[in-house]
Amino acid sequence: MTAAQFPEGFLWGAATAAHQVEGGNVNNDHWEAEHAAHSPFAEPSGDACDSWHRWPEDLDLVAGAGLDAYRFSLEWSRVEPDESEFSRAALDHYRRVLDGCRDRGPAPVVTLVHFTMPRWLHDGGWTGPKTGDRLARFAEFALPVLAEAEYACTLDEPDLMATQPVTGAMARRGEEIRGLPGPDQEVADALLGLHGRTMEVPRGNVRRAGMTLVGGEHLAEAGGEERMHEERAAVARAAEVLPDTPLVVTENGIATADDADRIAFTTDALAAAIDAGADVRGYLPWSLLDEFEWMLGYRPTFGLVAVDRQTFARWPKSSLAWLGGVAHRNGIA
């Protein structure tokens, strides 16, 4: 790759996650934690961006900008609201989202689990002895959606999931976070095992499947510039560990109210991906919408599109059109 041109077939898109945009996911563990006394969450997710109903509008924004990929996740607690009680209506909803992608052009990138679990699983949690079988059963039921995805992701960022307030240990709300907090190792090990167990389902039935991992990018404080450059950027590290594995950047973004900062950040991130010399096949920034950002609530704004918190009206930012131009040129120069 050069700064002017990405490989033919490179995917340009945007990413979301069910609990962060859908709203009303009352049957999962995070909803319960958001409403608990002394909750670590700044505010509850509530209606989020109402994407459960407004997903066609979201897809229109993606396609209208000229992007050719859209990442979304399935909400397990909607598809299986009680153990062994599956909702075909909920699965059909996600099949309609997938069909909506195909109808408009963007390739669907589908995540099976993005942080949340059904409340009925919470007692055993990710470390429970039956969780692998339960997650595999969910994957089997969801296979009609996963099989039609361009890419299927089993678990979103298990290395980060193991640090979350609902699944592991997390920095207290309101404190500045420097680097990632330490993971709960038992949870981390369990999640990696769950990925392996779940991969048994899509293998041979899905175009491309894997899991997503979070990797830290380094920002230097005064005097630390030389040390920062000695460290490996996240894509370079992934390519180093998995030298023969194609990579897709499934999330990359900055929480800022200044859209010029977002464009500059994204430009630098794309340049870094090129410089890493890795086999990168796509770039899906985080995120399409200004959405619910877990324990920080709605304060951080990562979106290419602003969302009115009262009316749910979508307002595309200049960064969305800019990214569409990059996609059209298939290059950042």
Range of the domain at 198: 11-329
For residue 3, is it within any domain?
Answer: no
pLDDT over 70 for what percent of the chain? 90
For residue 318, is it within any domain?
Answer: yes
Query: What is the predicted pLDDT for the residue at 167?
Result: 59
The CATH number of residue 229's host domain is: 3.20.20.80
Q: Is the pLDDT of residue 3 over 50?
A: yes
Residues 112 and 34: their CA atoms lie apart, in Å, by: 22
For residue 6, is it within any domain?
Answer: no
Query: What is the predicted pLDDT for the residue at 244?
Result: 85
Task: Give 92-101's long-range contacts (Cβ < 8 A, gap of 24+).
Answer: 93/52, 94/142, 94/145, 95/144, 95/145, 95/148, 97/55, 97/59, 97/72, 98/145, 98/148, 98/149, 100/55, 100/56, 100/59, 101/59, 101/70
The residue-averaged pLDDT of 59-84 equals: 98
The residue-averaged pLDDT of 111-124 equals: 94
For residue 269, is it within any domain?
Answer: yes
For residue 1, is it within any domain?
Answer: no
Report the domain count for the chain: 1
Query: What is the predicted pLDDT for the residue at 235?
Result: 81
The predicted-structure confidence for 140-198, as pLDDT tens digits, reads as follows: 999 999 999 999 999 999 989 988 767 543 333 333 444 445 678 899 999 999 999 99
Query: What is the predicted pLDDT for the residue at 111?
Result: 98
